[in-house]
Amino acid sequence: MTTIFEEEVTCAMCGAKQTVQEMGSTSSFGPMDLDTRPPPLQRGTMEMWVHECVECGYVAPELEKAVQGDAQIVASADYRAEIVKAGRVRQASRFVCRSLLDESAGDLVTAGWRRLHAAWVCDDVANVDEAREQRLAALKHFERARKQGKLAMKSVVGGDQLLLADIARRSGEFSRALGFCEAGFAVAALPAFVAKLLAFQRELVLARDVGGHTVAEVDTTPATRGTVH
């Protein structure tokens, strides 16, 4: 069950007062996807992960907060075009715009995650073209971050390679996906479950599979197990 409450906030960008919905708590049923995309109930809370000011279009997890340079980005042509982009659901556009702000602030890892969140929203409405575009953008941010020594997933050994392999695979970037898998296999003290997930990614690549899969599938996938002649 998810608990939601309303909160009155003041936009840090334009000063407009408004009411936003905030999440108190939520439950999670079912496994997450290989890219950590949460199961449906928890995914339903994504509307509350970032908010859009009803007056100026500023997007933030907390509208009351902004950093130097945000105003310039919000006023930019790119931002204005992204927030109203036709053919894309608004919540995905909010994540894209937030990504622009995070990128401008130099936080490439968060910018990448916002793009991935946008892709998840697009997945839910079966907008495969837009989802792919956002994953490619996420991959670009995460790869740039890696060059700065910053990882998208630090909590699990080999998790960063696993995440990037999935993003690349789902974008149809199969060579890059395999490249991340190989890099993951080479990580010292790789946990067994990460190795299994990397092997599963490799299997999916060879099946030309760009679809979403959950971590629960690893031992149950029907693809091509058994005796080989």
In our burial notation (b when 16+ CB lie closer than 10 A, e otherwise), range 126-146 reads: ebeebbbbbbbbbbebbbebb
In our burial notation (b when 16+ CB lie closer than 10 A, e otherwise), range 46-56 reads: bebbbbbbeeb
For other proteins, give the closer residue by CB, 71 or 172: 172
Alpha-carbon span 173 to 138, nearest angstrom: 13
* Minimum CB distance to other proteins, residue 116 (Å): 16
* Minimum CB distance to other proteins, residue 53 (Å): 32
The reply to whether 129 sits near other proteins by the rule CB under 8 A is: yes
According to CB under 8 A, which one of 132, 144, 146, 150 is a site residue for other proteins?
A: 132
The reply to whether 87 sits near other proteins by the rule CB under 8 A is: no
For other proteins, give the closer residue by CB, 47 or 124: 124
C-alpha angle 129-48-26 in degrees, rounded to nearest 5: 110
Alpha-carbon span 79 to 36, nearest angstrom: 27
Single out the segment in contact with other proteins by CB under 8 A; choices: 49-57, 72-80, 186-194, 209-217. Answer: 209-217
According to CB under 8 A, which one of 174, 195, 217, 218 is a site residue for other proteins?
A: 174
The reply to whether 124 sits near other proteins by the rule CB under 8 A is: no
